[in-house]
Structure 1
Amino acid sequence: MAATSKILAVGIMVFSFIIGLITFYMMSDLSKKEKKEQVEEIISQLINFVIFIWIGKIILNISIFIEDPLAILAYPSDSRAFYFSVLLSGFVLFYKYKKKQMDIVTFIHSFIHVFLVASFLYEFIQFVWNDNAFSFGNMVVIVILMVIFLFMQGYVSNYMAFFTILVLWSIGMFLLSLIQPYITVFGYMIDVWFVGVFLLINVIIIYLNNRKRDV
C-alpha cells in the first residue's frame, strides 16, 4: 500500500511537470529551436535534481546504506535530502552560468513558467483527488504568483522576474506556515528556516543586481 502510494505520488509529480513543459512549449514566444533547447535543459536539470535527492538520501543515511544498500530504495526521501538537492542544483546552475555553458536568463524565465504550472497542477490534484486541504493554500499562492508573473512580462527583465517570483514565493510560504501546521513543496515538508534562508539569498541577489546596474 505504501509502495503504491509512493509510486502514485511520483506519477502525479511527473505528470504535472510534463503538462508544465507542454504549456511552456505552446505559449512561449521563443523560436522552435530555442523552445526545444529549453525543454531539454529543464528536463536535464530536473533529472539532476532527482539524482541529487538520491545522493543526499544516501549521504544523510550512510550508516543504513553501509549495512543494507537496498534499504535506501525503500527509505523515503525527507526534507534534508530536498535541501541537499536544492543546494547542489544551485551550484550546478551557477557553474554552468560562469562557464557560459547555458543562457541562464532564458533558462530561468522558461523554468519559472514550467514550475508554476506544474506546482499548480500538482497541488490541484492533491486537493481534489487526495482531499489534501493544505494544498488549497499552496494553490492560492501559486495563482497569485502566476498573475504577477504575467503582469511583469515586458516591464522587468526575465532575470529580475525570476528572482522576484522566488522572493514572493518565499513570503507566501512563510505566511502559510503561520496558518498551517506544515508547508510542502511537491510533497516534501519544508521548514520555516529554509524558507527564510531562501528569501534572504534571493533578496541579496536582487539588491546586488540593482546595485550593479546603478554603478
Structure 2
Amino acid sequence: MAIRAKLSMIGIIAASFIAGLVFYYLASSHDRVQKKKYIEDMVSLLIHFIIYIWIGKIAVNFLLFIRDPIAVLAYPSNSKALYVAVVLMILTIFYQHYRNKRIFQFDVFIPVFFAASFVYEFIHILLNGITFEWAYLGLLLLLLIVYLLYIEGALARELSYLLFNI
C-alpha cells in the first residue's frame, strides 16, 4: 500500500511537469525548433537536479553510504541534500553559460513551473478534497493568465523575472 502511494505521488509529479511542458509548447510564441530546444534544456536541467539530489544525499550521509549504499538512496532526502543540489545546479548553469555561452531561460522556466504547480495542486484538490489550497490555486491561475496576456509582447522576459521574484 505504501509503495502504491509513493508511485502515485511520483506519477502526479511527472504528469504535472509534462503538463507544464505542454503548456509552454502551446503558449510560446517561439518557433517550433526553438521550443523543442528550450524544452530539451529544461528536461536536462530537471534530470541534473534529480541526480544532484542523490549526490547531496550521498555527501550528507557519506559514512552511512560507505556502510550501506542502498540505505542512503532508499530514504527520502532532507534539506541539506537539497542545498547541495541547488549549489550544484547553480554551478552547472554557470558552467554551461561559460562553456557553451548558453543562458538559462527564465521565460521557459516560469510558465512550466506555474503550469506544473497549477496541475499538481488541482490534482491534489480532486483526489484529496483539500479545500485550503483554493487560494494558492487561484494565485497560480492568476499568474498564468497574466503571463499569457503578456507573452506576445516585448515584456515577456521582464515579466518572467518579475514573476520569478514574487
Q: Would you call these one fold, judging by a TM-score over 0.5?
A: yes
| Pairing 1:16-165 to 2, within 5 Å after superposition | 16-104=16-104, 107-133=105-131, 135-153=133-151, 154=153, 156=155, 158=157, 160-165=158-163
The residue number in structure 2 matching 1:2 is 2
Q: Percent of aligned positions with the same letter in both sequences? A: 36
Stretch of structure 1 that moved more, 59-68 or 40-49 = 59-68
Aligned amino acid, residue 156 of structure 1:
L
TM-score relative to the length of structure 1: 0.68
Runs of 4+ in 1 over 6 A off after TM superposition: none
Gaps in structure 1 of 5+ consecutive residues: 169-215
Gaps in structure 2 of 5+ consecutive residues: none
- Write out per-residue CA displacement over residues 125-173 of structure 1, whole angstroms, 9 at most, x where no aligned residue: 1222133455434323322322333344325351x323211221xxxxx
Aligned amino acid, residue 62 of structure 2:
I
For residues 103 and 165 of structure 2, what CA distance do their matches in structure 1 show? 22
Aligned amino acid, residue 94 of structure 1:
F
Aligned amino acid, residue 63 of structure 2:
S
**Residues 67 and 133 of structure 1, relative CA distance in 2, 3 Å threshold:** farther
The residue number in structure 2 matching 1:166 is 164
For residues 2 and 68 of structure 1, what CA distance do their matches in structure 2 show? 23
For residues 73 and 134 of structure 1, what CA distance do their matches in structure 2 show? 33
Aligned amino acid, residue 155 of structure 2:
V
TM-score relative to the length of structure 2: 0.86
Does the aligned pair in 1 maintain the 2:107–2:156 contact within 8 Å? no
Aligned amino acid, residue 2 of structure 1:
A
For residues 156 and 97 of structure 2, what CA distance do their matches in structure 1 show? 17
For residues 133 and 127 of structure 2, what CA distance do their matches in structure 1 show? 11
How far did 1:90 drift?
2.0
- Write out per-residue CA displacement over residues 184-208 of structure 1, whole angstroms, 9 at most, x where no aligned residue: xxxxxxxxxxxxxxxxxxxxxxxxx
For residues 88 and 138 of structure 2, what CA distance do their matches in structure 1 show? 29
Instruction: Name which structure has the greater RCO, CA cutoff 8 Å, separation 6+.
Output: 2
1:51 partner SS: helix
May I ask how many residue pairs the two structures share in their alignment? 165
How far did 1:103 drift?
4.1
Stretch of structure 1 that moved more, 79-88 or 53-62 = 79-88
